Amino acid sequence: MMSENMKVAKQELVVQENGKKEEDETIETEKRKLGGMKTMPFILANEVCDRFVGAGFHSNLITYLTQVLNVPLIKASNTLANFSGVSNFTPLIGALVADSFAGRFWTIIVASIIYEMVCLYSLSQTNQSIT
User: What digits encode the pLDDT tens for the residues 28-41?
Assistant: 666 666 667 778 88
pTM value surpassing 0.85: no
- Secondary structure of the chain as H, E, C letters: CCCCCEEEEEEEEEEEECCEEEEEEEEEEEEECCCHHHCHHHHHHHHHHHHHHHHHHHHHHHHHHHHHCCCCHHHHHHHHHHHHHHHHHHHHHHHHHHHHHHCHHHHHHHHHHHHHHHHHHHHHHHHHHHC
User: What digits encode the pLDDT tens for the residues 48-68?
Assistant: 988 898 888 888 999 999 999
Q: Please state the domain extents for the chain.
A: 36-130
User: What digits encode the pLDDT tens for the residues 76-120?
Assistant: 999 999 988 888 888 888 888 888 888 878 888 888 899 899 989
Please give the pLDDT value at position 68.
92
